[in-house]
Amino acid sequence: MNDQIKIFSPATVANVACGFDVLGFCLDKIGDGMTIKKVKEPGIRITKIHGCELPYEPEKNVAGVSALAMLEALKPGCGFEIEMHKGIKPGSGIGSSAASAAGSVFGMNELLGRPLNKTELTKFAMKGEALASQSEHADNLAPAIFGGFTLVRNVNPLDIVRVPTPHDLYATILFPQIEVKTAEARAILPKQVPLKKAIQQWANVGSLVHALHTSDYNLLRRSLKDVIIEPYRKQLIPEYDRIKTLAREAGALGCSISGSGPSVFALCKGKHAAERVRERFETVYAGSDIDFQTLVSSINTEGIRIL
- Residues taking part in catalysis: 129, 182
Interface pick for ligand HSE out of 12, 15, 204, 300 (rule CB under 6 A) = 15
Contact between 133 and ligand HSE per CB under 6 A: yes
Q: What is the rounded CA–CA span in Å between residue 271 and residue 298? A: 8
- Nearer to ligand HSE by Cβ, of 21 and 83: the residue is 21
Nearer to ligand HSE, 133 or 294 (CB): 133
Closest C-alpha among 94, 150, 78, 88 to residue 119: 150
Which of 91, 107, 254, 259 is in the footprint of ligand HSE by CB under 6 A?
A: 259
186 binds ligand HSE (CB under 6 A): yes
Q: How far is the CB of 160 from ligand HSE (least distance, A)?
A: 14
What residues are paired with 23 via a beta bridge? Answer: 151
Of the residues 9, 92, 96, 140, which one makes contact with ligand HSE according to CB under 6 A: 140
Q: Could you give the C-alpha distances from 238 to 188, 190, 245, 296, in angstroms and in order?
A: 17, 21, 14, 21
Q: Which residues have a Cβ under 8 Å from the Cβ of 221 and sit 6 or more positions away? A: 253, 254
Contact between 137 and ligand HSE by CB under 6 A: the answer reads yes
Residue 100 interacts with ligand HSE (CB under 6 A)? Answer: no
Nearer to ligand HSE, 111 or 267 (CB): 267
The answer to whether 227 and 236 have CB atoms below 8 angstroms apart is no
| CA-based nearest residue to 293, from 127, 156, 178 | 178
Report the alpha-carbon distance of residue 66 to residue 16 in Å, rounded.
25
Instruction: Note whether 260 binds ligand HSE by CB under 6 A.
Output: yes
Binding site residues, ligand HSE, CB under 6 A: 14-15, 20-21, 133, 137, 139-140, 182, 185-186, 259-260
